[in-house]
């Protein structure tokens, strides 16, 4: 099966960003961008002045929510509304989104912004 890629434009933290996605995953990617943007705005309104720090706080909040959801899900083998395959697929999409955000954050050049920490 050939999956066609398309480019979509979204706004994160006031920055217009172009992302590649398949038609099938576009609604999920757009919803994820809305969620991330909302969390960044909350972090900024909470006193974070750096877009990088606000983005990290948003990522931590979303990751915490995911971990909490995973820990409260039904044990393996029990009847569940969300299959383990679906959880794995969603985790893969989250990792892909995190990689895109990391890449975009590295490409942003904001005056006075902190530089990435290199191990």
The reply to whether the predicted model has a pTM over 0.75 is no
Q: Is 20 helix (H, G, I), strand (E, B) or coil?
A: strand
* 101/54 Cα distance (integer angstroms): 13
In a domain, 100, yes or no: yes
Q: In terms of Cα–Cα distance, which of 64, 45, 55 is closest to 100?
A: 55
Domain range enclosing 51: 5-72+82-107
In a domain, 77, yes or no: no
All residues at 6 or more sequence positions from 44 whose CB lies less than 8 Å from its CB, including other chains: 13, 51, 54
Taking only the tens place, the pLDDT of each residue in 36-67 is: 999 999 999 988 788 889 999 999 999 999 99
How many domains does the chain fold into? 1
pLDDT for the residue numbered 6: 93
pLDDT for the residue numbered 79: 52
Distance of CA 90 to the CA centre of its chain: 11
What are 26's two structure tokens?
Answer: 């576009």
Q: For residues 30 and 9, is the Cβ–Cβ distance under 8 A?
A: no
In a domain, 114, yes or no: no
């Amino acid at each position: 099966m050939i999956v066609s890629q398309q480019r979509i434009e979204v706004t994160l933290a006031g920055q217009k960003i172009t992302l590649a996605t398949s038609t099938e995953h576009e609604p999920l990617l757009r919803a994820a961008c809305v969620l991330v943007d909302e969390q960044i705005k909350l972090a900024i309104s909470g006193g974070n002045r750096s877009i990088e720090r606000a983005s990290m706080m948003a990522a931590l909040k979303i990751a915490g929510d995911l971990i909490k959801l995973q820990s409260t899900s039904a044990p393996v083998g029990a009847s569940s509304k969300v299959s383990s395959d679906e959880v794995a697929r969603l985790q893969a999409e989250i990792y892909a989104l995190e990689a895109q955000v990391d890449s975009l954050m590295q490409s942003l050049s904001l005056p006075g912004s902190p530089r990435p920490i290199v191990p």
